[in-house]
């Protein structure tokens, strides 16, 4: 792939990226979420068309308009979310679209036989006649791999393959990948887990903010160097005013949550947030932070353990009650959860308060108060808008985020859970929101800050928890950890590795 | 300056809201004209005749308003459910039960006529509510698709009503022994507004309920929660809206409007329940079209319903004067429905896509 550029609106997802893959090689592409890895692979698999750049296969220029072009050319992809038909059998899924037929009819026996052959040839153990939805996740992934092999793929892309697997399954997967490479297949592994990279890759490409920033042979690099390349060195200069934290506003003890696949998404998470304190949760996204926040805020109620907000036990309570106990929440996705794009700014500013005495009387809204409140928030947070009657979708991302932040912070509750509060917004808005969070701290509020931006965590937090694979691995006080060490721990490194820094 | 921009924003929003329905109407009429021309008549004259026949005289207007009455109720019913994100297709069944119940009660209940009429209307409304409640309960209890359940319940309501009218409540005095209908309601009816024209007090009732629903959806905390659930269910969940409670309440309201619509049609126009009186004119579908055309806004429902009813009146009129096929109106309404559902689908997909892209989750 040469000089691939792909933009989505104003976001440059891939900026002039070139990639080369040798036969029988395992190439790892690493980078944080949003670094552009997935986009690059979508281009390779024909799911997205690049704005510029070319793709060559065996020195021949090819054009990939859709995934079936890619498949015909021998490019297969094992997606993070499996593309399988649950109620159909393993065999049916694998041969789908290229069934062996006899007199125009699907020949069950021949197809099953073919799958069995493939399965033993590559050592990928599956039951050809089991229904896919009854198979464990690891086996489903093997079905995906067999699907690409059945289509004679020479190049197989693995997109975050270990995200859904248990540790045992990950080990098997690593063995499988090595075996495939030994048999002459060329593999690309997309991941942000560096221990896997070090275990399996021959060569590593590091992406950051849409650009290819480094390329290393595995033998000549280390997890530590890679994490540094991936996250980058960021200098943090922001003195926090010393202040004594007050009482506990958030108490989480032994929080454990399973998932459908039987994997533990959260295991035994315990943490505290006190008044007048910002507590950061550092971690590459997808390591349980989202689920932790869902449990704490009441959006998810199927968990074990205890959650107390401002001293009140709200374990497994509904959102309304958790909020009433004193929780406000900036959700990680402003349009998916944080607002209604088609609703007006005033309507968006009201959410959560529509039943309070301030804004309603016997169920009837006090429209004047609602309007004044919205105008107040817009003004105080310098939201660039012509009127509160505008629709949310007319605002830029940064301004939408400001309004959501305003709504939650100005409620003046003891606890604020802020998730990725500055993701994808401009520097000005980011600074503004940071200042508001610090102001909240100064006014005696407790903030739980969940962010995959290490800079943000280091800049604002009094205390930092590191999450990795559903567990809280470490806890640091402000100043007792630096970006290198944190970066390594976030990507699954161990303390003794870090101690050597 | 501030006022000025406020005004221009309001104006822009109004125009934006009107743009699509107007385009749909124009395209619908164009297609109608083309078909009239195709069937060997003057297309332009046809469309003109359609509009004049629907709205051009006191007689036309009152006939149209009479026909619009059940459509307005159906449209409100649909707007309430869909506007809060609940895909209910059960309007037809709820209207049928409303119409049958009120007809039976109006005949059986003794007392002064106006009081009996009121009781019958309330009974019809209650029937619609209960039937909607049943659908909501099944959907919540068994986690089944509300759309499918409401659709299936329509058949049960329709055929049960046929059975009941054929056997249990059949009019014993009917001269025509084949007529499947209940006994004629004598006193407890919704009287006409003007003695010469068919439009009755049910239309006034419909307008009153348009205003009530406007108030509920735009001015109450409950309406706010429901509307936000319709625009983005996740946002509502995040804000602590109890989606189950909202669904039950909204389905009750929606069922009430449908039941009342059926009852008003029975007490104001037919004076009895006649088998298929709701399904064969397609009131429920017209109501759904009206709510789609108006993006679930109650006032828009009122206007769209009157327009759709006018098309039918006009269609009947040009059938007589120009001898055009009577299917014209159905075709125009079909085109309209298609266009508005296409818009609905496009909007829905866009929203889904933008929600998925929302913030670059995994570029």
Interface with B, mutate which of A159, A314, A326, A335 (most B CBs under 10 A): A335
From chain B, the residues in CB contact with A363 under 8 A are 220-222
CA distance B137 to chain A (A): 21
- pLDDT, position A262: 65
Cross-chain CB nearest to A337 (options B222, B225, B238) = B238
Q: Do B228 and A343 touch (CB under 8 A)?
A: yes
Q: Which residue of B has its CA nearest to A332?
A: B359
- When pLDDT is cut at 50, 70 and 90, the band that residue A351 belongs to is very high
B242–A11: do the CB atoms touch at under 8 Å?
no
Contact state of B242 with A320 under an 8 Å Cβ cutoff: yes
> Minimal Cα distance from A329: which residue of B?
B238
Sheet holding A264-274, edge to edge: A264-274, A248-258, A304-309, A312-313
Residue pair A277/A441 in contact (Cβ under 8 Å)? The answer is yes
Provide the percentage of residues in chain A whose pLDDT is more than 90.
45
Q: Across residues A462-479, what is the average pLDDT?
A: 92
Quick check: A236 pLDDT over 70?
A: no
Q: Which band of pLDDT confidence, cut at 50, 70 and 90, is reported for residue A500?
A: low
Q: Number of residue pairs across A and B with CB atoms under 8 Å? A: 116
- Chain A residue numbers touching B245 (CB-CB < 8 A): none
Residue A499 has a pLDDT of 55
If one compares A100 and B140, the residue with the highest pLDDT of the two is B140
**Six-digit token string for B173:** 């005095």
Split at pLDDT 50, 70, 90, the class of A496 is low
Of the partner residues A322, A343, A360, the one whose CB lies closest to the CB of residue B221: A360
Which of B240, B242, B351, B358 to substitute to test the interface with A, most A CBs within 10 Å? B240
CB contact under 8 A, A341 and B227: no
pLDDT value for A324: 94
Decide if B196 touches A, using CB distance below 8 A: no
Higher pLDDT: A159 or A423? It is A159
In the predicted structure, residue A250 carries a pLDDT above the cut 60: yes
CB contact under 8 A, B361 and A333: yes
- pLDDT band at A232, cuts 50/70/90? low
State whether residue B350 sits within 8 Å of chain A by CB: no
Q: Residue A260 has what pLDDT?
A: 62
pLDDT at res. B28: 85
Is the Cβ pair B239, A351 closer than 8 Å? yes
In terms of DSSP bridges, do strands A203-208 and A26-30 run parallel, antiparallel, or are they unpaired?
Answer: parallel
Q: Residue B362: what pLDDT?
A: 30
A419 φ, ψ (degrees, to nearest 5): -105, 125
Q: Which of A320, A334, A342 should we substitute to test contact with B (largest number of B Cβ atoms within 10 Å)? A: A342
Give the tens place of pLDDT for each residue, A66-84: 888 888 899 999 987 788 8
Q: Residue B321: what pLDDT?
A: 86
Query: Which tokens go with A114?
Result: 């073919």
Residue-wise burial string across B175-198, b where 16 or more C-beta atoms lie within 10 A, e elsewhere: eeeeebbbbebeebbbebbeeebb
Residue B359 and residue A424: Cβ atoms within 8 Å? yes
| B contact test, residue of A15, A341, A392 with most B CBs within 10 A | A341
Mean pLDDT of the residues in chain B: 88
Residue A494 pLDDT greater than 50, yes or no: yes
Whether pLDDT at A355 is above 80: yes
Q: Is the pLDDT of residue A430 over 60?
A: yes
- Contact state of A363 with B220 under an 8 Å Cβ cutoff: yes
Higher pLDDT, A388 or A165: A388
pLDDT of residue B360: 31
Inspect the interface and report whether the beta carbons of A339 and B235 lie closer than 8 Å.
yes
How close is the nearest chain B Cα to the Cα of A83, in Å? 17
Contacts of B12 in chain A (CB under 8 A): none
Provide ipTM, 2 decimals.
0.83
Q: What is the pLDDT of residue B356?
A: 44
Question: Do the Cβ atoms of B360 and A424 come within 8 Å?
Answer: yes
Inter-chain CB proximity A331 and B238 less than 8 Å = yes
Cβ contact, residue pair A334, B239, below 8 Å: no
Under an 8 A CB cutoff, do B221 and A365 touch? yes
Chain A residues near residue B234 by CB distance under 8 angstroms: 336-337
pLDDT for position A364 = 95
Task: Spell out the SS3 assignment of B169-237.
Answer: CECCCCCCCCCCEECCCCCCCCCECCCCCCCEHHHHHHHHHHHHHHHHHHHEHHHHHHHHHHHCHHHHH
> Are B359 and A352 in contact (CB < 8 Å)?
no
Instruction: Report whether pLDDT(A486) > 90.
Output: no
What does the mean pLDDT of chain A come to?
A: 88
Per-residue pLDDT of chain B (363 residues; tens, 9 = 90+): 455 666 777 787 777 777 778 888 888 888 888 888 888 888 888 889 989 999 999 999 999 999 999 999 999 999 999 999 998 999 999 999 999 999 999 999 999 999 999 999 999 999 999 999 999 999 999 988 999 999 999 999 999 999 999 988 888 877 777 778 888 998 889 999 999 999 999 999 999 999 999 999 999 999 999 999 999 999 999 999 998 999 999 999 999 999 999 999 999 999 999 999 999 999 999 999 999 888 899 999 999 999 999 999 998 898 888 888 777 888 888 888 888 777 666 665 555 554 444 333 332
| pLDDT tens-place string over residues A36-62 | 888 888 888 888 888 888 889 888 888
How far is A91 from chain B, CA to nearest CA, in Å?
A: 30
């Amino acid at each position: 792939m040469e000089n691939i550029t792909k933009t989505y609106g104003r976001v440059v997802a891939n900026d002039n990226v070139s990639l080369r893959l040798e036969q029988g090689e395992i190439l790892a592409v690493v980078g944080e979420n949003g670094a552009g890895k997935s986009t690059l692979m979508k281009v390779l698999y024909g799911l997205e068309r690049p704005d510029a750049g070319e793709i060559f296969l065996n020195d021949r220029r090819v054009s990939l308009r859709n995934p079936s072009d890619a498949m015909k050319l021998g490019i297969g992809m094992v997606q993070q979310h499996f593309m399988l038909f649950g109620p159909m059998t393993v065999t049916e899924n694998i041969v789908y679209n290229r069934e062996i037929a006899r007199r125009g009819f699907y020949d069950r026996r021949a197809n099953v036989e073919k799958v069995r052959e493939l399965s033993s040839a590559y050592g990928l153990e599956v039951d050809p006649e089991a229904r896919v939805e009854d198979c464990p996740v690891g086996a489903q992934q093997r079905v995906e791999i067999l699907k690409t092999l059945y289509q004679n793929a020479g190049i197989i892309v693995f997109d975050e393959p270990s995200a859904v697997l248990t540790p045992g399954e990950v080990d098997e997967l690593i063995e499988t990948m090595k075996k495939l490479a030994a048999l002459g297949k060329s593999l690309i592994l997309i991941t942000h887990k560096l221990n896997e990279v070090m275990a399996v890759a021959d060569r590593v490409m590091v992406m950051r903010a849409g650009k290819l920033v480094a390329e290393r042979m595995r033998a000549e690099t280390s997890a530590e160097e890679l994490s540094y390349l991936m996250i980058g060195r960021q200098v943090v200069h922001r003195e926090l005013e010393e202040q004594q934290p007050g009482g506990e506003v958030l108490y989480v003890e032994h929080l454990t949550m399973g998932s459908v696949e039987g994997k533990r998404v959260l295991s035994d998470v315990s943490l505290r947030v006190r008044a007048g304190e910002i507590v950061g949760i550092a971690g590459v996204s997808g390591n349980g932070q989202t689920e932790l926040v869902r449990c704490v805020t009441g959006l998810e109620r199927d968990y074990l353990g205890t959650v107390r907000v401002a001293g009140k036990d709200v374990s497994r309570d509904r959102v309304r009650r958790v909020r009433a106990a004193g929780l406000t929440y900036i959700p990680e996705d402003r349009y998916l959860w944080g607002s209604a794009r088609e609703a007006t700014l005033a309507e968006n500013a009201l959410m959560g308060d529509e039943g309070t005495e301030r804004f309603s009387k016997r169920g009837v809204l006090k429209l004047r108060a609602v309007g004044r409140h919205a105008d107040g928030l817009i003004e105080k947070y310098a939201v660039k808008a012509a009127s509160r009657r505008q629709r949310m979708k007319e605002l830029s991302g940064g301004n939408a985020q400001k309004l959501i932040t305003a709504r939650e912070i100005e409620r003046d509750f003891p606890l604020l859970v802020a998730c990725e509060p500055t993701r994808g917004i401009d520097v000005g808005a980011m600074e503004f929101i940071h200042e508001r969070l610090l102001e909240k701290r100064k006014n005696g509020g407790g903030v739980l800050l969940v962010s995959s931006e290490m800079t943000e965590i280091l800049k604002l937090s009094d205390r930092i928890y590191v999450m990795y694979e559903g567990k809280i691995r470490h806890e640091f006080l402000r100043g007792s950890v630096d970006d290198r060490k944190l970066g390594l721990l976030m990507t699954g490194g161990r303390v003794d590795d870090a101690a050597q820094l | 300056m501030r006022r000025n921009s406020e005004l221009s924003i309001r104006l822009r929003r109004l125009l934006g809201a009107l743009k699509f329905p107007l385009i749909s109407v124009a395209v619908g009429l164009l297609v109608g004209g083309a078909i009239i021309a195709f069937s060997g008549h003057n297309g332009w004259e046809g469309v003109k005749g359609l509009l004049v026949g629907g709205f051009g005289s006191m007689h036309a207007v009152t006939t149209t308003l009479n026909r619009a009455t059940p459509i307005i109720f159906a449209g409100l019913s649909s707007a309430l459910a869909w506007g809060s994100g609940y895909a209910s297709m059960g309007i037809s069944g709820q209207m049928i039960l409303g119409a049958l119940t009120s007809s039976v009660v109006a005949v059986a209940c003794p007392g002064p006529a106006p009081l009996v009429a009121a009781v019958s209307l309330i009974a019809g409304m209650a029937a619609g509510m209960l039937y909607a409640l049943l659908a909501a309960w099944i959907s919540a209890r068994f986690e089944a698709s509300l759309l499918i359940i409401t659709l299936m319940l329509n058949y049960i309501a329709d055929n049960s009503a046929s059975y009941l009218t054929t056997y249990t409540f059949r009019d014993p005095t009917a001269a025509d022994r084949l007529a499947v209908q209940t006994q004629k309601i004598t006193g407890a009816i919704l009287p006409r507004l003007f003695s010469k024209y068919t439009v009755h007090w049910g239309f006034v009732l419909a307008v009153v309920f348009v205003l009530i629903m406007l108030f509920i959806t735009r001015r109450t905390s409950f309406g706010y929660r429901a509307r936000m659930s319709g625009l983005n269910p996740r946002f509502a969940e995040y804000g602590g809206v109890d989606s189950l409670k909202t669904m039950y309440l909204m389905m009750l309201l929606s069922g009430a409007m449908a039941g009342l619509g059926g009852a008003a049609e029975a007490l104001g126009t037919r004076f009895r329940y006649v088998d298929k009186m709701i399904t064969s004119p397609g009131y429920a579908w017209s109501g759904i079209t009206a709510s789609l055309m108006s993006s679930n806004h109650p006032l828009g429902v009122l206007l769209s319903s009157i327009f759709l009813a006018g098309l039918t009146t006009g269609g009947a009129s040009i059938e007589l004067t120009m001898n055009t096929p009577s299917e014209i109106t159905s075709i125009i309404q079909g085109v309209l429905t298609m266009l508005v559902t296409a818009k609905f689908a496009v909007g829905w997909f866009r929203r889904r896509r933008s929600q998925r892209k929302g913030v670059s989750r995994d570029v």
